[in-house]
Amino acid sequence: MKELFYDLILLAQKEKASDIHFMIKDDVCICSLRTLKGFKKIDLEQGMQLFQYIKYRANLDLGNLMTPQSGTFDLLFNEKIHLYFRFSLIATLQSQTGVLRILNNHAQFQIKDLTKDKKQQELFLQWCHMRTGLICFSGPTNSGKTTTLNALLSEISRNEQLKVITLEDPIEILNPAFLQLQVNEKLNFTYEEGIRQLLRHDPDVIMIGEIRDAVTAAMTFRCALSGHLVFTTIHAKSAQEAIKRLEEFGLDKRELTDTLTVVVNQRLYPNKKRKERICIYEILHGKALCDVLAGRKPTNHETIQMRIQKAVDANEISLDDARYDLLDQ
């Protein structure tokens, strides 16, 4: 079964998949890869047996499947490549669904690799020299937020000689340049507790993996208000939507005006001109951010849809790949 699992991971890497999805219904296993072009179904030999093997490797409680569970494990490939995995399982009376993610399968990027837009590169570098503030990255799943953050934190660690601590669930890119803490709900090491602990280690720069609830939002706000430079992420379809979500989590506009420095929204697409991916960024900062927080319509600001349309017009990405995001306005 281990060989079959190896083959599945190799296929996922070939397709540049971010996750492997399993659906079990009527004793039939349907497996799909989440790629940049959406889900791609694959024929999986011995799918049910492989599904059980992954649950076993993730050390899930097989006698309590009706409770949502997740677990991590690692394997050594070809005696030299050490890969780490997280497997999440949700079961109902009718079906089981599982999602497998390869945690340390991301390429290491520098700021110059994130975008060809020189003005945006300059902004990214400016943020690396800041000492206080809250910079929030937003976008859907698989939009490159973790890769962007890792490039910025690597730049800070390399050139600024500052102490960087991250709190993540899970740690997707292992980086020895800074201290990475892993949330562990089973051991009561939550985002809330993790933030309390990392503040005791005198960090200069903090990265909170994701704002998921009001408690995490309040703790993240407290970190920024106490004089740290804080990076975080939130799921939102645009920069202005990200601000609305922060308000829904209990942060009012007055608090955000005091701390929020930049809001970024991003998307990741296949590049038509090269065999690589291209990341499209919307950056809300300065006067435009002040306008939004004051309830005014920002001027001279390019939304994520405008940036995507520019990339389509420049023949950098295909209209088919971008159609969903352009319709979502």
Q: Are 62 and 183 contained in the same domain?
A: no
* pTM attached to this predicted model: 0.85
Q: What is the mean pLDDT of residues 114-138?
A: 96
The answer on pLDDT for 208 being more than 90 is yes
Single out the residue in 83, 102, 121 at which a domain terminates: 102
* pLDDT recorded at residue 323: 92
Q: Are 77 and 128 contained in the same domain?
A: no
The answer on pLDDT for 132 being more than 70 is yes
Single out the residue in 102, 128, 150 at which a domain terminates: 102
The answer on pLDDT for 150 being more than 90 is yes
Q: Are 85 and 211 contained in the same domain?
A: no
* pLDDT recorded at residue 102: 83
> At which residue do the structure tokens 């295909």 appear?
318
DSSP 40: E
Q: Are 139 and 61 contained in the same domain?
A: no
Single out the residue in 50, 77, 102 at which a domain terminates: 102
Distance CA 146, CA 173 (A): 8
* pLDDT recorded at residue 165: 96
Residue 70 backbone dihedrals phi, psi, to 5 degrees: -150, 155
Q: Are 296 and 224 contained in the same domain?
A: yes
The answer on pLDDT for 27 being more than 80 is yes
Q: At what angle do helices 304-313 and 319-327 cross, to 10 degrees?
A: 160
Q: What is the mean pLDDT of residues 124-138?
A: 97
Place 329 in a pLDDT band, splitting at 50, 70 and 90.
low
| pLDDT > 70 in the chain, percent | 98
- Return the higher-pLDDT residue of 172 and 137: 137
* pLDDT recorded at residue 106: 63
The mean-pLDDT minimum among 13-17, 87-91, 194-198, 256-260 falls in: 13-17
Q: Are 214 and 304 contained in the same domain?
A: yes
Q: Are 97 and 124 contained in the same domain?
A: no
Q: How many CB atoms lie within 10 A of CB 164?
A: 22
The answer on pLDDT for 14 being more than 70 is yes
Residue 38 backbone dihedrals phi, psi, to 5 degrees: 105, -165
- Return the higher-pLDDT residue of 106 and 145: 145
Question: Which residue segment(s) compose the domain that 82 sits in?
Answer: 2-102
Q: What is the mean pLDDT of residues 46-58?
A: 93
Q: Are 93 and 216 contained in the same domain?
A: no
Integer-rounded Cα radius of gyration of the chain: 21
Q: Are 174 and 281 contained in the same domain?
A: yes
Q: Are 157 and 186 contained in the same domain?
A: yes
The CATH number of the domain holding residue 174 is 3.40.50.300
Distance CA 88, CA 313 (A): 39
The answer on pLDDT for 328 being more than 70 is no
Which three-class secondary structure state does DSSP give residue 184? strand
Q: Please give the torsion angle defined by the CA atoms of residues 36, 209, 262 and 247, in that order, rounded to the nearest 10 degrees.
A: 100
Which residues have a Cβ under 8 Å from the Cβ of 217 and sit 6 or more positions away? 211, 246, 249, 250, 251
Q: Are 172 and 244 contained in the same domain?
A: yes
Distance CA 209, CA 17 (A): 21
Residue 95 backbone dihedrals phi, psi, to 5 degrees: -155, 170
* pLDDT recorded at residue 107: 64
Place 100 in a pLDDT band, splitting at 50, 70 and 90.
very high
What string of H, E and C letters represents the secondary structure of 98-158? Answer: EEEEECCCCCCCCHHHHCCCHHHHHHHHHHHCCCCEEEEEECCCCCCHHHHHHHHHHHHHH
> pLDDT tens-digit profile of 58-95?
999 888 878 899 888 988 877 777 788 989 999 888 89
Q: Are 54 and 77 contained in the same domain?
A: yes
- Return the higher-pLDDT residue of 176 and 23: 23
User: Domains in the chain: how many in total?
Assistant: 2
- Return the higher-pLDDT residue of 205 and 162: 205
Mean residue pLDDT of the chain comes to: 91
The answer on pLDDT for 105 being more than 80 is no
> At which residue do the structure tokens 């296949």 appear?
270
> pLDDT tens-digit profile of 249-289?
999 999 999 999 999 999 999 998 877 889 999 999 999 99
Which residues have a Cβ under 8 Å from the Cβ of 295 and sit 6 or more positions away? 253
- Return the higher-pLDDT residue of 187 and 198: 198
The CATH number of the domain holding residue 96 is 3.30.450.90
> Token pair of 79, please?
């005696």
Q: How many CB atoms lie within 10 A of CB 292?
A: 21
Q: Name the region of 46 (left: φ>0; alpha: ψ -120 to 50; beta: rest).
A: left
